[in-house]
Structure 1
Amino acid sequence: MRYFLLCGVTLLLAACSSTPDQAPPPTSRNQAFDGFYQQWRGVPYRMGGNSRAGLDCSAFTQLAYQQVFGLSLPRTTTSQANLGQPITRSQLRHGDLVFFKTGWNQYHVGVYTGAGEFIHASTSKGVIRSRLDNVYWRKHYWQARRMDPILLMVQQSAYGS
């Protein structure tokens, strides 16, 4: 059944490949993420948390994508890192997810907001804005992903999310 669903969605995507991009204009996307950041700025980090009492990095990105795009992301950083389209640092644009490998089996995620900055739930400072060229983040940078709504739907149905 999943095979047929995947084939059907693939055909649909091929048929719609000439339609214009439906993503919000960059300025509204920028404003939406900036507004989201202002609402959550300073909220403390709490592993497994997903509320104003405290939240972790993947809950922060999950909530951001839900509020800004109306998209459902998986709950964990590693699950989020397996979705979307991989992109290079030079391709980053407002709203892309940036991932960091911070330990042997530890990962961190944030939302790129342009001008070399990203927003995230820091373990030491809570929800903050940081620079990608910061010594720590530059050293631990792992990958970036663009979350296209149609691609997310296909990937999540294929993975059973």
Structure 2
Amino acid sequence: MLKRFASIIVAATLAFSGLAFTTGEQAEAATGKFAYSKVNGLNIRTAPSLSSKVTTTMNKGQRYTYLGKVGSFYKINYKGSHRYISASSTYTYLKANTKTATAKKVTTASASSARTKLVAESKKYLGTPYRYGGTTTSGFDCSGYTGHVYKKAINKSIPRDSRSQYANSKKVSKSAIQAGDLVFFSHNGSTIQHVGMALSKTQMINSETGGVKYASFTSGYWAPRYVGAGSYL
């Protein structure tokens, strides 16, 4: 019985170790770079040391996913295992994964396009009357307006009320606010009670008493009631 229990403990330990290794490797792989060889016959080693075992070699132009630097060696992912190659510029160099870089550019461009669409859509409703509980062009309340603009401009559904819109958004510092982000306010200092959409770092468009209109959130009525900002982009 004792022997069996010991076997279970060992197996569990190995399983846990394997999980930790996998998680760590996934995190390291996020460097988005490849390590390339400049020469033929570059040694691939089991450890970051010249005295470690050479398991195979790589040729000029061959690449492996770069996982980080350890001393004078690059750590690479070689067929699912950690291996090491010289980090000397004579033998190797690093280069970004162009697919990853392109994906980031596309994401940035998409967000910029979405912000432009949101601003254009929001201005279509200037003067639309305020209506408590309203979500249509016959009348909007504050969150009904922001939800309508997001849906029409970029086909994105966001929570119905201002408190939920704030709670579920990705928080943005005041200095980082961009057009299309949502700005939130409280009349009592604790509960989110109003939302508008930023057009700049100082101006928003919102549905309030008098209907859809422009307003400053850094001066005047809304400035002392400002709570925070959030993004759905």
TM-score category of the 2 structures, normalised to the smaller one? 0.7 to 0.9
CA contact (8 A) 2:199 2:205 kept: yes
Between 1 and 2, higher relative CO (CA 8 Å, sep ≥ 6) is seen in: 1
Shift of 1:62: 0.4
1:110-150 Cα deviation digits (max 9, x unpaired) = 1111151111101x2200111122221110000101113xx
> Where does 1:2-151 land on structure 2 (aligned, <5 Å)?
18=100, 19-20=103-104, 21=107, 24=110, 26=112, 28-103=113-188, 105=191, 107-122=193-208, 124-148=209-233
Gaps of 5+ in 1: 1-10, 149-161
Aligned identity (percent) is 29
Counterpart residue identity of residue 61, structure 1: T
Higher strand share: 2
CA distance in 2, matches of 1:142, 1:115: 14
CA distance 1:107–1:23, change in 2 (3 Å): farther
1:52-82 Cα deviation digits (max 9, x unpaired) = 2211000111011112221101111111111
Higher helix share: 1
Q: Secondary structure at the match of 1:24?
A: helix
CA distance in 1, matches of 2:178, 2:192: 25
CA distance in 1, matches of 2:204, 2:161: 18
If the length of structure 2 is used for normalisation, what is the TM-score?
Answer: 0.51
If the length of structure 1 is used for normalisation, what is the TM-score?
Answer: 0.72
Q: Secondary structure at the match of 1:135?
A: coil
CA distance in 2, matches of 1:58, 1:23: 27
CA distance 1:23–1:58, change in 2 (3 Å): farther
Larger Rg: 1 or 2?
2
Please give the root-mean-square deviation of Cα atoms over the aligned residues, in Å: 2.4
CA distance in 1, matches of 2:116, 2:172: 23
CA distance in 2, matches of 1:141, 1:89: 10
CA contact (8 A) 2:162 2:192 kept: no
Gaps of 5+ in 2: 1-25, 33-99
